[in-house]
Amino acid sequence: SYRRQIFCCFVWWQFNRSIKFSQLLVGPTAKMNLFQSVTSALDNTLASDPTAVIFGEDVAFGGVFRCTVGLRDKYGKDRVFNTPLCEQGIVGFGIGAAVAGATAIAEIQFADYIYPAFDQIVNEAAKYRYRSGNLFDCGNLTIRAPWGCVGHGSLYHSQSPEAFFAHCPGIKVVIPRGPVQCKGLLLSCIADQNPCIFFEPKILYRAAVEQVPTEAYTIPLSQAEVIQEGSDVTLVAWGTQIHVLREVANMAQEKLGVSCELIDLQTILPWDTETVCKSVAKTGRLLISHEAPITGGFAAEISSTVQEECFLNLEAPIARVCGYDTPFPHIFEPFYIPDKWKCFDAVKKLISY
């Protein structure tokens, strides 16, 4: 199953990765999975910022994924509290709290349910600073939401809506790939002076553990990370799909002798064009993969920018391996997802073009 593939990819990656986190791993660390790293980040924020409040559906008892477990007991019901089942109201309240000076951290129970709050995010939060000429802002607002395929979510629990918000100036959109990145990027979103949407890959919540610093730390937003250097093909993804492409990169090396450079975009808006274009100028080939439908997906924006900036460097047309233009299916999910075999076939086509 896709869930088992992701778990195996993540565990394998833990033993073989070459990412340098020495600048982060200062002080005590603890084994955490991804949802525990979220809890740790929120705990650090509530402890250091007396204005910080966390709210959403069921967060008082820990939330459906247990990301806020224990925080109400530790910090009180005035700082960690439930809301009505109204996403528009959750974000609207968060905007007001942030404008009033609080650090507002709102949880949308699933990213699929963020659409009722779309107007509040796009027409209010994103434009608040601009429309007031910088007299007022709601930059202290962070919106968290579980995101992406989970193996059995079907129509309303598997969507990846990042591209909808990438069209909207005034907000930042961030998606981590693992516990270390999750905590550091979430704390960066909370500290950032712009409203941020933080999508958490739900299939990774319990997939594996990493040694994560218990103290607060940040990872810069809008900076992609080159996870693996290569010379023949550039692979770009974010969130769960990073682990799929990591396995594809190893398959390409073993079966084809092809060297792949793997990039985790991390921040969707504003995204790191420099790192991606620099890589493509070196490799001459680009594959982008995400779970969201292909038409209008964020891979199209990356493809367009790279074509404009790196046209003379390209050795093959840019490839996109994404979800299909259908609602997310249930029994046909294995055929829908951009798995390692689809991505590996795309790499072969890029090399043989």
H, E, C per residue of the chain:
CHHHHHHHHHHHHHHHCCCCCCCCCCCCEEEECHHHHHHHHHHHHHHHCCCEEEEECCHHHCCCCCCCCCHHHHHCCCCEEECCCCHHHHHHHHHHHHHCCCEEEEECCCHHHCHHHHHHHHHHHCCHHHHCCCCCCCCCEEEEEEECCCCCCHHHCCCCCHHHHHCCCCCEEECCCCHHHHHHHHHHHHHCCCCEEEEEEHHHCCCCCEEEECCCCCCCCCCCEEEECCCCEEEEECCCHHHHHHHHHHHHHHHHCCCEEEEECCEEECCCHHHHHHHHHHHCCEEEEEEEECCCCHHHHHHHHHHHHHHHHCCCCCEEEEECCCCCCCCCHHHHCCCHHHHHHHHHHHHHC
Which residues form the domain of 331?
225-352
pLDDT digits (tens, 9 = 90+) for 210-234: 999 999 999 999 999 999 999 999 9
pLDDT digits (tens, 9 = 90+) for 86-141: 999 999 999 999 999 999 999 999 999 999 999 999 999 999 999 999 999 999 99
Mean pLDDT over 257-283 rounds to 98
- Domain contains 68: yes
Domain shared by 278 and 198, yes or no: no
Mean pLDDT, the chain, rounded, equals 94
pLDDT digits (tens, 9 = 90+) for 4-16: 656 555 555 554 4
The total domain count for the chain is 2
Mean pLDDT over 325-331 rounds to 95
- Domain contains 166: yes
Domain shared by 208 and 148, yes or no: yes
pTM of the entire predicted model: 0.93
What's the pLDDT score for residue 3? 58
CATH no. for residue 86?
A: 3.40.50.970
Residue 18 has pLDDT above 90, yes or no: no
Annotated catalytic residue: which of 57, 107, 124, 157? 157
Of 145 and 209, the structure prediction assigns the larger pLDDT to 145
Domain shared by 170 and 312, yes or no: no
What's the pLDDT score for residue 152? 87
- 157 an active-site residue? yes
What's the pLDDT score for residue 23? 47
What's the pLDDT score for residue 301? 98
Domain shared by 231 and 332, yes or no: yes
